[in-house]
Amino acid sequence: GTGADNDLYINQAVVFIEDAIQYRSINHRVDSRSLWLYRWYYSRACQWILSLTITIILALAFIEKPSSLTITSDVRYRLPAWNPPCGLTESIELLCLLVFMVDVSVKSYLIGWEEFWKNKWLVAYILTLIVSLADWIVSLSFFCTEDVRIRRILRPFFLLQNSSMMKKTLKSINSTLPEMASVVLLLAVHLSLFTMFAMLLFARTKDGQQDKEWVVYFRNLPDSLTSLLVLLTTANNPDVMIPAYSKNRAYSIFFILFTVLGNLFLMNLLTAIIYNQFRGYLLKSVQSSLFRRRLGIRAAFEVLSSLRETPANTQQPHVSFGALVQVLQKVEMDSRCKQAIMRSLEMCSCDQLSAAQFQKLFEELDKDAIKQHPPSPEYQSSFMQKMQFASGHPYFGYLGNVVALANIVSICVVLVMDADKQPSERDDFFLGAINCFFILYYLLEMLLKILAMGLKRYLSYPSNRFDGLLTVILLVLEVATFAVYGFPHPGWRPEFLGLLSLWDMVRLVNMLIVFRFLRIIPNMKFMALVVTTLLDLVKNLRAFAGILVVVFYAFAITGIMLFKGAVVPLGNISAVNTTYGNGTLQCGTYEQLEYWPNNFDDFAVMKNVISWLSLVTFRLRLFTAYLLSVNLICRWAKIYFVAWWLISSVIWVNLFVALLLENFIHKWDRRCHREPISDIEYQRTVELMFRDVLEEPTEEELMEKLHQHPHLQLCR
Amino acid sequence: GTGADNDLYINQAVVFIEDAIQYRSINHRVDSRSLWLYRWYYSRACQWILSLTITIILALAFIEKPSSLTITSDVRYRLPAWNPPCGLTESIELLCLLVFMVDVSVKSYLIGWEEFWKNKWLVAYILTLIVSLADWIVSLSFFCTEDVRIRRILRPFFLLQNSSMMKKTLKSINSTLPEMASVVLLLAVHLSLFTMFAMLLFARTKDGQQDKEWVVYFRNLPDSLTSLLVLLTTANNPDVMIPAYSKNRAYSIFFILFTVLGNLFLMNLLTAIIYNQFRGYLLKSVQSSLFRRRLGIRAAFEVLSSLRETPANTQQPHVSFGALVQVLQKVEMDSRCKQAIMRSLEMCSCDQLSAAQFQKLFEELDKDAIKQHPPSPEYQSSFMQKMQFASGHPYFGYLGNVVALANIVSICVVLVMDADKQPSERDDFFLGAINCFFILYYLLEMLLKILAMGLKRYLSYPSNRFDGLLTVILLVLEVATFAVYGFPHPGWRPEFLGLLSLWDMVRLVNMLIVFRFLRIIPNMKFMALVVTTLLDLVKNLRAFAGILVVVFYAFAITGIMLFKGAVVPLGNISAVNTTYGNGTLQCGTYEQLEYWPNNFDDFAVMKNVISWLSLVTFRLRLFTAYLLSVNLICRWAKIYFVAWWLISSVIWVNLFVALLLENFIHKWDRRCHREPISDIEYQRTVELMFRDVLEEPTEEELMEKLHQHPHLQLCR
């Protein structure tokens, strides 16, 4: 009946507007049941469950069989880790996989079977699930004793497919690949030509004493290639040139040429290329989001306009006031926006809305969210007014900064004075006393500020929240210290009591004080700009970080599979007695440098791997040499590490630099345009940052897209 | 009389046009004698003498007292170097200083005494000269025995003041300094806060065995600061975190946080800031060059228009045809340009030229120099025509590349096979034979190409010149080898004869063949783009390189003064018997790593310093520790190296990246716009690259500037 039809149209409009708000695609089924399923699937609870499931399945790697639940990863000290019994992690995994199966079926159903086959991501999702399940069954049938578990490498895919931002970013990276490949090829040519040069230059001589360079670095083709590759990462500079340079000054020319061409030109060229490709990336992505929003709104308008067919105005489709109010009440959106839209709808006071008016109503969604701080309380007493004036004055804030600085300096002085003292000689009285004084001042400052601003206004500033929270923690710690150890007095050096020793308490308090010092940042104009840029960057970087996690995860799991147990401690050298150069250890080797904690025995290797992100000094050669010497299976080590260096250090870091440049330059340009308004904070998003340069999609584009919708049949 | 006046005006116009051609300022004296002096000063001979003088005075550092005239700089093997007798270098230096004195007087006279005091560069020039002369006198009165010679540090100033590009670049860098200083300040805050954290975190514990981290890296404030500063350069990653990480996995969080914040964010922020500041740099500099050119032309027009005062057209100043021809004949300029201007002047066939016509005439100067290759010879015989077609076909070029590749591969194979052979077992027959064959092919290829193209056309392509030159050298080497050692036959292993042994000859030939392989570059599209970008960059980079030389020079000289003789070889360890880890040398120290050639004993330290340009792995800590341990005077070592790291690695590398980005992005954008035309090569300059975006200066701007001229009195 028409009533059911009307309900359907209303529901469609509601869903399309919600799609527009969330920048989602509108290409899904639009019948009643599917709409219900769609709203259920994108409800907060469902999405939250899905995210939790992804987190759980990724986090499983930490407790799965080579579990990371030991305090140290040093093979010399490490106790056998607790390993979960067979079936525990596997059953959790099965639950997760079941959730993913539900997810993929709902998703596939919603976009329709025809669309499903065109969507490579969904097909890959299903394939991944099938492989994972098969691997899971194999795993259980071997009672968890098999080593190679493919499904662990596949896991990050679940993270990848769930984020449209990450998929978009991946597409961007993909389009940069040909250019990157060219530069990498150029690097390879550079490397191989110089390797041949080096082999000819540092050939074995008849005089055996002169060819140290040949023996150590250029013995054969793989050795020479590795030496120069590591020189490209600058990790063995200047070691690699010392023997030759010691023979003749002129040999340094070879190394300088290689470094200048490779490191300075080619490596930076990669940065330039990646930046050049990514220059428009943010803008393009924001532009397509805008298109999705306008399309959703337009689709809602179209379905609403077919609601009542009044033949009088078939030329100009219109939407009635009542239908729109009905829709708006059903839509889930930010209450501030909803109110603003309702208000402007009432002000318009028209019975029928044209497409343009409809679109204009929803522009409220694009607007800056202006955050108004609550007002300060007004006091009657003139004393209170004076107090309020004094504590509200900027100088009071500056005084607080000066006091914080003084505190830092005093801690620093005590640290320098105590540096060479034995722990038993240390006197904690001085620090205890001054910290007590400073914390009292911080408390006073907080109370005065609350008095001046009122609690609500005080808490509405992030800097005050940061300040206040740290002050409260410091106060609690200090009170706890006094409760356990009594008040400080000269020679105040009590023994261990309670949870933490006094010394640890004092250290903790000091660290928190150092941390609290960061409150000065907003006071320094340039620093504030830099910090806000960085914070913005972090927001925009989520997709990148996600992809990085995916890559890290895959590399870490592969590393564990390849090199697990490869690092074994030296036989009878006790941990403590290992002195340097005791005649048995060669300098510069893995053993001598005591790199024991750097192994691939559990998933916390990810941390190692992250700390190697600044891989310019990647100890590639060393580690590879060690792995090669220990275990013959590890012949893949070199390839693994070179791939890792290329992806993490070269490509990812350059992507990061490109994004940083993009963000920073936009921000910087913008800084000159508008002065910050004192009491109002704009909550800027990427979308808003680009608003001036974005192009509105034309009516024709929107309608063409709408007519391509696979499930929606428009009347006109 | 009027004749003399006319001559003066003609001469003024000539000089102004020459100024315009060379992008020089026109603010100099304009009376007859000064004009003569001005033309003499800017004549090719004079400028060449000045450049030579600057080169000589800079190069003196290599032969001055701690002279670099030894084969090795290794303190263990180095023989006492030949030092020039007192007075030799000093008298050369005096000559140079005299030339500079003439230079500064002429320059000061030409711009006029009033302008002189406003010009800080000239004042600094005179001061530098005075200080240098005083220092020179002191030096001679001590009979060259004094150690501190200030004038050596001042020398690079002479290079700096002679290049207007370098002065302009320095001004640009100067304007970036406030922002850079802010980021460096941010880095300093980051470093100091983390240092305090580290000192609190890795404090000395009561259990003496657990505090390895404290002992090695965080013993006191300077140690901690150094450890973290070096971690910022990533040179001691992961060494610095191993002891703590070995104790507890969680400690790695501290180091990861520090590295991510410092290396990834702050360091790259510096890149972003510098790039942002330099984005407009090239454009601005080209724009100001254009202004100078237009101003010079306009000034010439103005003086020529006041030549004959015909009262009929006082409203519209004009220049007569005859005067212009007279001026053009006197102007020194590119003959191609001169002819083109003369031609269009004749085509115009007007007796009087307005300002706009005059300006338009000289636009020829801005145009691309189109290089037309000479035509191929035309042969009558059909055999020759076929030969010509075959050798002119692109496939013939590809065949040449394939043969070159085959040659490289064969050399590579021989190298791999011979890698482990003793020199006495090596058989040079195989390589000798195949190289002989390949070189014959190269000769044939060259001859065929010359036949097809004719010698002139062949030589007009740079790739052919490169090819041909190497082929000729290879041929000469091969003929020489056969003349000395006879033709190759199995077991061809003759003893040492002549200048080079056969083995060295073969190696040299192989190296040249590897080098010749670079001819493939223009055949690969992307590579060609990259290489032309790099070549362009090198052109635009001259000013940067100059400033780098200035900084290097000053640092090298300071280094010599501070650390000369600081590196002394260990007492009784003979050079050859130094085995690693023989119980006396601690691992990772200067002595164990045998860094003996890295010392500050002579000026060739500049090479060291250059090879450290990729200073990310600067062995700062090691070198400083060594210098500190050896010599107490070297307490400045740390500050010296930190300054060096900041300037060369952080700031200069970032400047370089900024310039590379700027160049590459312009080039890349341009690539899409125009396809390369086959037979015509554009000789692009920076000025031409930006022609589309440049703004022409308005008439008002030009006239205002002209009226501000300190020496030229215009009638109107």
Can you give the pLDDT at residue B56?
A: 92
Can you give the pLDDT at residue A381?
A: 86
* Token pair for B509: 């030939």
CB contact (8 A) between residue A530 and residue B182:
yes
CB contact (8 A) between residue B526 and residue A179:
yes
Can you give the pLDDT at residue A573?
A: 42
In 10 A of CB B672, how many CB atoms?
A: 7
- Give the best-scoring range by mean pLDDT among A289-298, A506-515, B127-136, B149-158: B127-136
The answer, yes or no, to whether the previous bond of B317 is cis (omega within 30 of 0) is no
Q: Which residues of A touch B253 (CB under 8 A)?
A: 607
Nearest beta carbon to residue A665 from set B193, B272, B616 = B272
- Burial class of A489 by CB neighbour count within 10 A (0 to 12, 13 to 18, 19+): exposed
User: Is the CB of residue A549 less than 8 Å from the CB of residue A159?
Assistant: yes
Nearest beta carbon to residue B420 from set A220, A269, A595 = A220
User: Which of A70, A78, A184, A246 would you mutate first to test chain B, the one with the most B CBs within 10 A?
Assistant: A246
Could you tell me the pLDDT band of residue B567, with boundaries at 50, 70 and 90? low
Can you give the pLDDT at residue B411?
A: 86
In 10 A of CB B393, how many CB atoms?
A: 12
Can you give the pLDDT at residue B630?
A: 46
CB contact (8 A) between residue A196 and residue B596:
no
Mean pLDDT of chain A: 77
Could you tell me the pLDDT band of residue A95, with boundaries at 50, 70 and 90? very high
In 10 A of CB B487, how many CB atoms?
A: 10
Nearest beta carbon to residue B205 from set A183, A220, A423 = A423
Largest CA distance in chain B: 104
* Token pair for A604: 């916390």
Could you tell me the pLDDT band of residue B46, with boundaries at 50, 70 and 90? very high
Can you give the pLDDT at residue A269?
A: 82
Can you give the pLDDT at residue A581?
A: 39
Beta-carbon-side half-sphere exposure of residue B176 (alpha carbons within 13 Å): 26
Average pLDDT score over residue span B558-564: 72
CB contact (8 A) between residue A182 and residue B526:
yes
User: Which of B530, B552, B649, B655 would you mutate first to test chain A, the one with the most A CBs within 10 A?
Assistant: B530
- Minimal CA separation from A395 to chain B, in Å: 23
- Give the best-scoring range by mean pLDDT among A233-247, A407-421, A468-482, B672-686: A468-482
Cβ density class B555-570: b for 16+ within 10 Å, e for less:
bbbbbbbbbbebbeee
* Token pair for A213: 């360079």
A659 → chain B, closest CA residue: B272
DSSP, collapsed to helix, strand or coil, labels residue B116 as: helix
Encode pLDDT of A106-150 as tens digits: 999 998 888 888 888 999 999 999 999 999 998 888 887 777 788
CB contact (8 A) between residue B587 and residue A587:
yes
In chain A, DSSP finds a helix count (H) and a strand count (E) of: 33, 4
* pLDDT top residue among A393 and A576: A393
CB contact (8 A) between residue B614 and residue A264:
yes
A76 → chain B, closest CA residue: B246
| Percent over 70 (pLDDT), chain A | 78
- What phi, psi does A166 have (nearest 5°)? -65, -40
- Does residue B50 have a pLDDT over 80? yes
Report the range of poorest mean pLDDT among A546-555, B32-41, B338-347, B586-595.
Answer: B586-595
Least Cα distance to B243 among B281, B277, B209 occurs for B209
Could you tell me the pLDDT band of residue B491, with boundaries at 50, 70 and 90? low
User: Which of A234, A257, A537, A663 would you mutate first to test chain B, the one with the most B CBs within 10 A?
Assistant: A234
| Percent over 90 (pLDDT), chain B | 10
Average pLDDT score over residue span B469-490: 82
Can you give the pLDDT at residue A606?
A: 52
User: Is the CB of residue A615 less than 8 Å from the CB of residue A645?
Assistant: yes
pTM summary value? 0.79
- Does residue A156 have a pLDDT over 60? yes
Residue with tokens 């300037």: B647
- Does residue A685 have a pLDDT over 70? no
To the nearest 10°, report the CA torsion of B142, B143, B149, B150: 60
User: How far apart are alpha carbons B243 and B255 in whole angstroms?
Assistant: 12
Report the range of poorest mean pLDDT among A101-115, A287-301, A503-517, B598-612.
Answer: B598-612
Cβ density class B417-436: b for 16+ within 10 Å, e for less:
ebbeeeeeebebebbbebbe
CB contact (8 A) between residue B611 and residue A238:
yes
Q: Which residues of A touch B428 (CB under 8 A)?
A: none
User: Is the CB of residue A365 less than 8 Å from the CB of residue A293?
Assistant: yes
Average pLDDT score over residue span A645-672: 76
Can you give the pLDDT at residue B585?
A: 55
* pLDDT top residue among B512 and A560: B512
Mean pLDDT of chain B: 77
- Minimal CA separation from A58 to chain B, in Å: 20
DSSP, residue by residue, A291-348? HHHHHHHHHHHHHHHTSS--GGGSSS--EEHHHHHHHHHHS---HHHHHHHHHHHHHH
Can you give the pLDDT at residue A580?
A: 39
Q: What residues contact residue B341 under an 8 Å CB cut-off, 6+ apart?
A: B328, B361, B362, B364
Residue with tokens 């306008």: A294
Can you give the pLDDT at residue B42?
A: 92
The answer, yes or no, to whether the previous bond of A311 is cis (omega within 30 of 0) is no
B184 → chain A, closest CA residue: A527
- Give the best-scoring range by mean pLDDT among A385-389, B98-102, B396-400: B98-102
Q: Write the single-letter amino acid at A617.
A: T
CB contact (8 A) between residue B246 and residue A186:
no
Residue with tokens 């036949």: B451
CB contact (8 A) between residue B238 and residue A619:
yes
Q: What's the distance, Cα to Cα, between the start and end of chain A in Å?
A: 21
* Token pair for A372: 């108004």
DSSP, collapsed to helix, strand or coil, labels residue A595 as: coil
How distant, in Å, are the alpha carbons of A59, A87, A133, A134 from that of A137?
Answer: 21, 11, 6, 5
* pLDDT top residue among B444 and A481: B444
Can you give the pLDDT at residue A500?
A: 66
- Does residue A291 have a pLDDT over 80? yes
Can you give the pLDDT at residue A575?
A: 40
Element (H, E) at A563: helix A542-563
- Does residue A52 have a pLDDT over 90? yes
Task: Please give the DSSP secondary-structure letter assigned to residue B155.
Answer: T
- Minimal CA separation from B204 to chain A, in Å: 7
* Token pair for B241: 């975190």
- Minimal CA separation from B513 to chain A, in Å: 10
User: How far apart are alpha carbons B624 and B336 in whole angstroms?
Assistant: 58
- Does residue A73 have a pLDDT over 70? no
Can you give the pLDDT at residue A566?
A: 60
CB contact (8 A) between residue A660 and residue B580:
no
Fold for domain A382-523?
Four Helix Bundle (Hemerythrin (Met), subunit A) (1.20.120)
CB contact (8 A) between residue B265 and residue A608:
no
- Does residue A387 have a pLDDT over 90? no
Cα A57 → chain centroid: 18
Average pLDDT score over residue span A182-201: 86
CB contact (8 A) between residue B242 and residue A424:
no
- Give the best-scoring range by mean pLDDT among A545-549, A642-646, B556-560: A545-549
Average pLDDT score over residue span A149-177: 85
Q: Which residues of A touch B280 (CB under 8 A)?
A: none
Can you give the pLDDT at residue B302?
A: 86
Can you give the pLDDT at residue B632?
A: 40
Residues A267, A268, A271, CA angle at the centre, nearest 5°?
105
User: Which CATH architecture fits B168-368?
Assistant: Orthogonal Bundle (1.10)
User: How far apart are alpha carbons B143 and B145 in whole angstroms?
Assistant: 6
Q: What residues contact residue B178 under an 8 Å CB cut-off, 6+ apart?
A: none
Q: How many CB pairs under 8 A join A and B?
A: 302
Q: Which residues of B touch A588 (CB under 8 A)?
A: 587-588
Encode pLDDT of A698-711 as tens digits: 888 888 888 888 87
| Percent over 90 (pLDDT), chain A | 11
User: How far apart are alpha carbons B32 and B25 in whole angstroms?
Assistant: 18
Least Cα distance to A6 among A354, A270, A298, A309 occurs for A309
- Does residue B677 have a pLDDT over 50? no
How distant, in Å, are the alpha carbons of A16, A119, A324 from that of A30?
Answer: 10, 19, 19
Report the range of poorest mean pLDDT among A619-623, B150-154, B251-255, B537-541.
Answer: A619-623
Could you tell me the pLDDT band of residue A592, with boundaries at 50, 70 and 90? low
Sign, CA dihedral B699-B701-B702-B708, equals positive
Nearest beta carbon to residue A664 from set B276, B511, B614 = B276
Report the range of poorest mean pLDDT among A332-346, B48-62, B518-532.
Answer: B518-532
User: What are the structural domain ranges in chain A?
Assistant: 43-162, 168-368, 382-523, 535-573+585-684
Can you give the pLDDT at residue A133?
A: 93
Average pLDDT score over residue span B586-606: 58
Can you give the pLDDT at residue B172?
A: 80
| Percent over 70 (pLDDT), chain B | 78
How distant, in Å, are the alpha carbons of A519, A527, A531, B265, B550 from that of B186?
Answer: 14, 7, 10, 11, 28
Q: What is the ipTM, given to two decimal places?
A: 0.80
User: Is the CB of residue A216 less than 8 Å from the CB of residue B557?
Assistant: no
Could you tell me the pLDDT band of residue A601, with boundaries at 50, 70 and 90? low
- What phi, psi does A371 have (nearest 5°)? -105, 120
Average pLDDT score over residue span B161-174: 83
B209 → chain A, closest CA residue: A576
Beta-carbon-side half-sphere exposure of residue A336 (alpha carbons within 13 Å): 9
Can you give the pLDDT at residue B288?
A: 86
User: Is the CB of residue B217 less than 8 Å from the CB of residue B227?
Assistant: yes
Can you give the pLDDT at residue A106?
A: 93
- Does residue A572 have a pLDDT over 50? no
* pLDDT top residue among B715 and B138: B138
How many residues make up chain A in this entry? 716
Element (H, E) at A680: strand A680-683
In chain B, DSSP finds a helix count (H) and a strand count (E) of: 32, 4
- Minimal CA separation from A157 to chain B, in Å: 25
